[in-house]
Structure 1
């Protein structure tokens, strides 16, 4: 059985995460006393973690309980609020393929696309900014990142660890930073059962005092932020990195309570910026991690969290932590350069010679460099002087072809497979081949064979070589130019600036704007563990990039210690408003990007590509609450922005609307699912009616607030049943050549109406008994768990849209919805026919059926309590994966009691968006017959 999307990170460890809850406690409560009362009040309860180090942000506990659910916990004296502990996974970088088609002679850097290069030219490198990296740790021995890791900032945490203890050079200002991590014995059991092939025979996580990175993800992030060598600069190479390791050495899953603990510790330790390139499918701004991360922004810490790498699944897949209201959720765009191996070419004509540094691509950027044995300058031999002849070498070369063995044969790319060209070149005596690109966009996979060895150079480079030879000159090339196998130069890519196809789409499940902004995240060259470098793609890289830009600003202007808590939101606004619109692109093109004539939508890229020069240099600042237009039933028409002119003279500001391409969230291929972007998604115009302000002039040092009124798009311009989503930006331009923008985002349909009585996809359905029968034919159970009988309900669910709450309650047989609607309290408390809520088997979604042979394994009988509110919400299915989530029930109810024999009614229900859960019509309820429970033996 394949794990479903919305419970994958939670059920993957036998369910213990869903038995854990984060509880917020009133500040006046004695936390020790509460913890003691909670632990001793009943069996099966324990306190896992205390959150008391930063009571001004969050004060509470992480607890584990078998007998209480999310309904019960707020009723415990002193508890204000409770969340189930979700799980987060690495937004693991996707291994990238060699890409690029136009060579540059500069060292590899993506900074020209974002203005970071301009800031570096001014000597701005982020010195003094403190960046907390919450990730897999950092390889603090790596020469490119170790110089700016913190040693002295945490003497009370290091427990006396010395540089020598860590195995580092004593001159390096580095020491491990301790973050206590709770051991999960459940994960150890799962490993022994083969659910994790990387078992090292230890319990997960591996708590110790050393944040050394054994996976690489945190080191990759660190290199983007603050890497530095003779030829490479991260975004803020003089910022100080603080490492908080929240993953074990070989697991890509961690619990939110551990992440939250790291965030709170980073705040206590004085971090200016917290960046975390991890998360789970969430989309709820009220989740525990999202809430606490947003509170930290209110206290002056800028927080960046990656948007996720599930772009192919379509809209409404905002990540968990990044959904925080004040958190910057970062999407990914493609950079304008890719890393390439360096070589030198000498162009000679008319007695003049010029040698320049160029780049080439091979099919594996991490093999030994191509041509390292070529210590001499070898002549370039163009096969044809016609640069437009893509059929070069597609046919066998003529017999009169001159000797090719002493030089490097230059062949135009395209026209046929490169292996055909290589074969023909080899038959003609060629020993080496250089292809020059046909300029058709990124070349993702070089189809090369080993004989003769081949590499790719950019079109203009090849054309310049051909032109020089055609004019009577000559070109030679030397490939053995360096002993530094990590050095790369830049290849220009025509994909620069388009959205990355993998970047997850928002907005949140309540139509809030996410992501907020985008940064380069595709095909990024960065540091990796054990001294090598790696070539990766992911919103992880983009998130780190934005954190680096924030470090440049704080290094130059100061952080919360200088400006107080307001600095984080103000800086977030500067970063978001700097974004430049990027072209519509759903997936990375095979050739050059397609011009659709529309801008990419806000739920894909936020305001667009971040511009660091605007963030630091602009004298205009904007203050606003996000322009969430919401849906047609809850339309938010009135919005405002305060413009502050910090420049030396008066400035006049004008306003314009920049609509992005609209799209339909409803799939055209399967009406049960939302769109996936493996479908062909066509943008179309859908523009709200808007009243923009008149031009306004603001004196230096002054501010003015202007108001903007939106109206929904004309109803005749869209089909509401297709779930149309529209977005764009309000542009604010000054006569001092400063241009900023604020995004807007809306739905041209009613979210509640669209999913009323339609929250489930093709179901739910039951698979009970040995023949896996549906509930209409199999609704009598005796909880005989043998493989021959399997007399228990197994319910399969796939959600069409995320729900805040999923319930499975048991009522008396004659109960009707009218009783709930008339007077029943919410949550149910035992009146009006309510019997109890189901406690389902924690391994339901990991195995096909219960196997009695495993009954003696530790934790095999564990249960998880309904209702489910994973991170304050459950996520939807998607048409590409089509995997359901399974719930097996063996008779146990929440609180530890068991269902008595008799007749009952199931109420399996998902809360509809934008509804009050206390109302019966706020739920999409599975229609089932009366069920019968026979006499049975209790198993759990």
Structure 2
């Protein structure tokens, strides 16, 4: 795969009436690092390593200025380098360069401070719901298994994380690739010490895997005896880039980590990103790789993260826990915190409003009549604005301790309060306090001169309450699959509001939510399996299948009779570690990717191996899950609207016929069964995802195979949004230097801010998106019409039958494997800034031109002209500046 990226930059910043003023701003807003690429060399081993120097020599002879950020030396994984240069077109012509991939940014930590899902799981209850407690009872705590944590580093001084670094400690090693000050934009400052005392995310992850038990908080790592290595790729704040992720993956692989875990990701939807490809190759070598699925459940289906989309990688969804640990306050209520609020003595209450229906309470500055609040517990209602905005207004009047009472519909879960001393209490407790306060205000002048007070016991106040959404998929958990129909997420683990370790400088303990928390849990589960079954490559490669075939399917609701949650969000279901460790039957494969109707395969062979010492008769059953419509298509408007929150449920399911519904398997032997799957009929107008499970039932255990397909042909899915739904103007469009859609021919000097931008949305992913410069008089009927063109347009699926044969003047840019846009009003679109040069950096001659935009449809043949959508820009002129 050869890519070029230079004169155009995809942006995610908000579009305004005024234009983005400079090309530099456009570059900074791009999801790619400017002029930065990962090159991969052909061959492997010593041959490829020797090839790096000749490549550099050729670049120097051609006067290509470049710098080297990283070099990758892992035979069978990646031989290459991360480099910066301005003329990438010439690089693609150098012998031995097999692939060129732009370096993506940002890649973020996948943690949710205020999830919509209810409930705060405690560590012990997560072990109970996944069978970890049963494996621990067998004496298995993962001793001898090495887990590489690619994250923000670890505060290894924490008493639950070994209080040391290096051989003989819990954290046996690692590397800091970036330094404290790195934020994703500046230059990394690597060093040997991956200590994190300023971010906390990696320390939280480390505690979920390996926290030592027998502590006052009841925290216990899933694999508390495992050895950890910290590969720090984030600074104290900000994000990271995939060249650094790739370097960390390769170092962890070369240092013989049994398991690599990454609680991070960026929107992708594909299996082809650099870090996904590298993670796939590592998994193929028999190492276990767990990656967060993402926290974008509200964005609907087809929104998987990179590198979680890698083949063989365990992409992990989040499940809400069954219990919520809280703390008691003396006003007959609870507050949402894992340990007591650090307030001693009783304090009087002050309410910013006694109207419990006022949800914008304290969103504005408090009135001048507000007393000094430094001696009060301040009670404020949740709603409308950010928590930190309310708390800042209270702090401006001296407030130091705040209770935020929940709305009737808000989830009782961890909240983001910045640096303020504040906790969430329930709606009922808040109304109770306000009611008492109102009563006191009415009678105080006649009867009671005292004040209502609240105190916070510093010991003995902890207990657990049931979580109403416990055992269900967290609403924030990303919905898949990948655009190439790979199952992502692969499975699920507890991830909703997990209590774990945190840097001592930041309090020592914290509650976090996200697939970031589910991912290390899955890594710990894998460690227990490796400890029980062995650490060889064959076992490591089998771990994804083992976890999938022994997982527990997750319901869509707690209502009896409702179907199971779609596989697109739960994967194979919630990990059951005791079943995985103690299974007597091997079922293969763990998952079936049925693809779309154009590439559908009906017959699938399932093998059943009896590893026990008795003959077993197995029964095969089909258990369907939800069928969900993922989009809404209006043929009259060619509209494509992404699903929001919960995709629409379709009352239809696949049917499965088995070659034998009962199969007898003798000890030590294997039998095969053919499952013939028929997709649900008559539902292809919404590109529905259908899914479910094939259960293999023995008298003492049940295993399963997970399947997922789409009951439509994905090549029919529109890629370029051609409606006016988002901005109120038809898309794509060309934005002139004044920030308005270009209506007729215009000239540009390409100096200062005098250049155009292309504004577009990707309604679906595309494996290839490219811009080419063409003549203003090109004879072409694109698939997407433009009202501002001198041509007469019509659209049809085959209208692009000749554009590939039309001569182009030169390429401007090509982006491969692009995700779809979201419906976010601030970032749900893309722009491409045109700098007046070709992809190789040479200036375009003065003249009149158009730009041809092409997007390859899902499943399309890149060499087949009819498989692209196309759009022509209005005419514009390139003129020399005066």
* Pairing 1:55–2:55 present: no
* Pairing 1:722–2:686 present: yes
Is the contact made by 2:341 and 2:456 (CA closer than 8 Å) also made in structure 1?
no
Determine which of 622, 630, 637 is the counterpart of 1:657: 622
Q: How does 1:725-874 map to 2 (within 5 A)?
A: 725-735=689-699, 737-755=700-718, 762-770=730-738, 772-786=739-753, 790=754, 792-817=755-780, 833-838=807-812, 866-869=813-816, 872-874=817-819
Is the contact made by 2:640 and 2:718 (CA closer than 8 Å) also made in structure 1?
no
Q: 1:2 to 1:890 in 2, by over 3 A?
A: closer
Query: Which segment drifts farther, 568-577 or 204-213?
Result: 204-213
How far is 1:185 from its partner? Answer: 10
Determine which of 168, 188, 193 is the counterpart of 1:210: 193
In 1, Cα distance between the equivalents of 2:612 and 2:161? Answer: 37
Q: 1:900 to 1:291 in 2, by over 3 A?
A: same
1:232 corresponding residue in structure 2? 219
Is the contact made by 2:117 and 2:496 (CA closer than 8 Å) also made in structure 1?
no
Determine which of 13, 20, 30 is the counterpart of 1:3: 13
How far is 1:343 from its partner? Answer: 10
Q: Pairwise CA RMSD of aligned residues?
A: 4.0
In 2, Cα distance between the equivalents of 1:757 and 1:799? Answer: 5
Is the contact made by 2:182 and 2:234 (CA closer than 8 Å) also made in structure 1?
no
Q: For structure 1, which runs of at least 5 residues remain unmatched after alignment?
A: 153-170, 189-202, 345-358, 375-436, 456-477, 586-592, 839-865
* Pairing 1:552–2:528 present: yes
Residues 546-583 of structure 1, C-alpha deviation per residue, up to 9 Å, x if partnerless? 101001111223212xxxx2222211100111221212
Determine which of 878, 893, 896 is the counterpart of 2:823: 878
2:387 corresponding residue in structure 1? none
Q: How does 1:378-393 map to 2 (within 5 A)?
A: none
In 2, Cα distance between the equivalents of 1:713 and 1:630? Answer: 14
Secondary structure of 1:599's counterpart equals coil
Is the contact made by 2:211 and 2:224 (CA closer than 8 Å) also made in structure 1?
yes
In 1, Cα distance between the equivalents of 2:194 and 2:434? Answer: 42
* Pairing 1:924–2:882 present: no
How far is 1:480 from its partner? Answer: 5.4
* Pairing 1:95–2:109 present: no
Is the contact made by 1:676 and 1:879 (CA closer than 8 Å) also made in structure 2?
no
Secondary structure of 1:144's counterpart equals helix
Q: 1:100 to 1:765 in 2, by over 3 A?
A: closer
Is the contact made by 1:666 and 1:675 (CA closer than 8 Å) also made in structure 2?
yes
Secondary structure of 2:139's counterpart equals coil
2:400 corresponding residue in structure 1? none
In 1, Cα distance between the equivalents of 2:707 and 2:722? Answer: 27
2:231 corresponding residue in structure 1? 244
Secondary structure of 1:615's counterpart equals helix
Q: How does 1:596-607 map to 2 (within 5 A)?
A: 597-607=562-572
Is the contact made by 2:292 and 2:519 (CA closer than 8 Å) also made in structure 1?
yes
In 2, Cα distance between the equivalents of 1:80 and 1:733? Answer: 47
Is the contact made by 2:687 and 2:711 (CA closer than 8 Å) also made in structure 1?
yes
Residues 349-374 of structure 1, C-alpha deviation per residue, up to 9 Å, x if partnerless? xxxxxxxxxx9731555552789889
How far is 1:886 from its partner? Answer: 1.8
In 2, Cα distance between the equivalents of 1:748 and 1:14? Answer: 32
Is the contact made by 1:206 and 1:248 (CA closer than 8 Å) also made in structure 2?
no
Q: 1:35 to 1:288 in 2, by over 3 A?
A: same
Q: 1:174 to 1:128 in 2, by over 3 A?
A: closer
1:572 corresponding residue in structure 2? 544
1:44 corresponding residue in structure 2? 65
* Pairing 1:282–2:258 present: no
Residues 71-109 of structure 1, C-alpha deviation per residue, up to 9 Å, x if partnerless? x6543200122222223523332125899899x9x9853
Residues 434-463 of structure 1, C-alpha deviation per residue, up to 9 Å, x if partnerless? xxx9x99974552478999799xxxxxxxx
How far is 1:16 from its partner? Answer: 2.7
Residues 806-860 of structure 1, C-alpha deviation per residue, up to 9 Å, x if partnerless? 21110233444599999x99999xx96322222xxxxxxxxxxxxxxxxxxxxxx
1:151 corresponding residue in structure 2? 166
Is the contact made by 2:37 and 2:100 (CA closer than 8 Å) also made in structure 1?
no
2:667 corresponding residue in structure 1? 700
2:388 corresponding residue in structure 1? none
Is the contact made by 1:810 and 1:836 (CA closer than 8 Å) also made in structure 2?
yes
Query: Which segment drifts farther, 512-521 or 491-500?
Result: 491-500
Q: For structure 2, which runs of at least 5 residues remain unmatched after alignment?
A: 1-10, 16-24, 348-405, 414-424, 436-454, 725-729, 784-796
Q: 1:665 to 1:99 in 2, by over 3 A?
A: closer
Q: TM-score, normalised by structure 1?
A: 0.72
Is the contact made by 1:38 and 1:46 (CA closer than 8 Å) also made in structure 2?
no
Q: 1:537 to 1:100 in 2, by over 3 A?
A: closer
2:101 corresponding residue in structure 1? 83
Q: 1:372 to 1:25 in 2, by over 3 A?
A: farther
Query: Which segment drifts farther, 516-525 or 40-49?
Result: 40-49
Determine which of 174, 178, 190 is the counterpart of 2:175: 178
In 1, Cα distance between the equivalents of 2:327 and 2:642? Answer: 40
1:495 corresponding residue in structure 2? 469
2:677 corresponding residue in structure 1? 710
Secondary structure of 1:708's counterpart equals strand
Secondary structure of 1:543's counterpart equals helix
1:643 corresponding residue in structure 2? 608
1:446 corresponding residue in structure 2? 426
Secondary structure of 2:521's counterpart equals helix
In 2, Cα distance between the equivalents of 1:256 and 1:10? Answer: 17
Q: 1:650 to 1:131 in 2, by over 3 A?
A: same
* Pairing 1:120–2:136 present: yes
1:368 corresponding residue in structure 2? 341
In 2, Cα distance between the equivalents of 1:186 and 1:273? Answer: 27
How far is 1:289 from its partner? Answer: 1.2
Secondary structure of 2:477's counterpart equals coil
Q: How does 1:324-339 map to 2 (within 5 A)?
A: 324-339=310-325
| Greater radius of gyration (CA) | 1
Is the contact made by 1:658 and 1:728 (CA closer than 8 Å) also made in structure 2?
yes
1:526 corresponding residue in structure 2? 500
Is the contact made by 1:300 and 1:569 (CA closer than 8 Å) also made in structure 2?
yes
Q: TM-score, normalised by structure 2?
A: 0.77
Q: 1:557 to 1:107 in 2, by over 3 A?
A: closer
Secondary structure of 2:174's counterpart equals coil
Residues 283-321 of structure 1, C-alpha deviation per residue, up to 9 Å, x if partnerless? 211222111111111111000000000110000001110
Residues 142-170 of structure 1, C-alpha deviation per residue, up to 9 Å, x if partnerless? 111226x7623xxxxxxxxxxxxxxxxxx
In 2, Cα distance between the equivalents of 1:318 and 1:545? Answer: 19
Q: 1:769 to 1:178 in 2, by over 3 A?
A: closer
In 2, Cα distance between the equivalents of 1:130 and 1:835? Answer: 54
2:327 corresponding residue in structure 1? 341
1:628 corresponding residue in structure 2? 593
How far is 1:542 from its partner? Answer: 0.5
* Pairing 1:688–2:654 present: yes
Is the contact made by 1:107 and 1:490 (CA closer than 8 Å) also made in structure 2?
no
Is the contact made by 1:553 and 1:615 (CA closer than 8 Å) also made in structure 2?
yes
Residues 96-153 of structure 1, C-alpha deviation per residue, up to 9 Å, x if partnerless? 5899899x9x985321111111111222111111111000001111111226x7623x
In 2, Cα distance between the equivalents of 1:185 and 1:234? Answer: 29
In 1, Cα distance between the equivalents of 2:171 and 2:497? Answer: 29
